[in-house]
């Protein structure tokens, strides 16, 4: 496999500057999406209730945060050291399973998600054109550039936020 299956989607067309803006704005948009749930005691009380595809709002935000944490780690590695092999799980459309099965609260999950989105935006801001085009192998057999990783972070963040809003609307 030489390219990920989603390589031709709308996120694959985002340029570096657009990616920085998209990822930096994700933190604000997460807070805006979860704000109405937090301000409504009845909806907030249901945050751990399974409402969609076996997920609660809290479990969904926690899974999204795990994925963004993994992407942050891989983006950090590719921007700070030249010899890297990217964790193929970061390139998946599926959120990674938790390393340890323990409950995570909505506050902790949101904080982790916001921190990763802001960190990714910060890591990407100011990258040189050489960095954006640096190609690294991944453990799943794909070769990716920093641009590919950043586009995937935007994809996971934006689509994950869309799913978060849909779950929040069902509370």
Interval 134-168: pLDDT, tens = 999 999 998 999 999 999 999 999 999 999 999 99
In a domain, 4, yes or no: no
Check pLDDT > 70 for residue 6.
Answer: no
The CATH number of residue 88's host domain is: 1.20.120.450
In a domain, 49, yes or no: yes
The torsion angle over the Cα atoms of residues 7, 114, 26 and 137, rounded to 10 degrees, is -20
Domain hosting 125: range is 10-169
Q: Which helix (H) or strand (E) holds 145?
A: strand 143-145
Res. 68 pLDDT band, cuts 50 70 90: very high
In a domain, 5, yes or no: no
In a domain, 114, yes or no: yes
Res. 1 pLDDT band, cuts 50 70 90: very low
Number of domains observed in the structure of the chain = 1
In a domain, 87, yes or no: yes
The token duo for 10 is 């709308």
In a domain, 23, yes or no: yes
pTM over 0.75: yes
In a domain, 3, yes or no: no
């Amino acid at each position: 496999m030489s390219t990920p299956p989603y390589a031709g989607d709308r996120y694959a067309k985002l340029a570096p500057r657009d990616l920085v803006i998209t990822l930096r704005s994700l933190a604000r948009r997460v807070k805006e999406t979860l704000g109405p749930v937090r301000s409504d005691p009845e909806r907030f009380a249901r945050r751990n209730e399974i409402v969609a595809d076996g997920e609660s709002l809290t479990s969904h935000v926690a899974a999204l945060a795990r994925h963004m944490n993994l992407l942050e780690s891989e983006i950090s590695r590719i921007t700070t050291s030249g010899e890297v092999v990217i964790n193929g799980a970061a390139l998946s459309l599926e959120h990674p399973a938790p390393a340890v099965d323990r409950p995570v609260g909505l506050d902790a999950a949101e904080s982790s998600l916001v921190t990763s989105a802001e960190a990714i935006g910060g890591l990407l801001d100011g990258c040189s054109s050489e960095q954006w085009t640096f190609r690294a192998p991944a453990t799943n057999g794909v070769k990716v550039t920093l641009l590919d990783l950043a586009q995937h972070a935007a994809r996971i963040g934006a689509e994950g936020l869309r799913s978060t809003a849909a779950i929040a609307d069902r509370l």
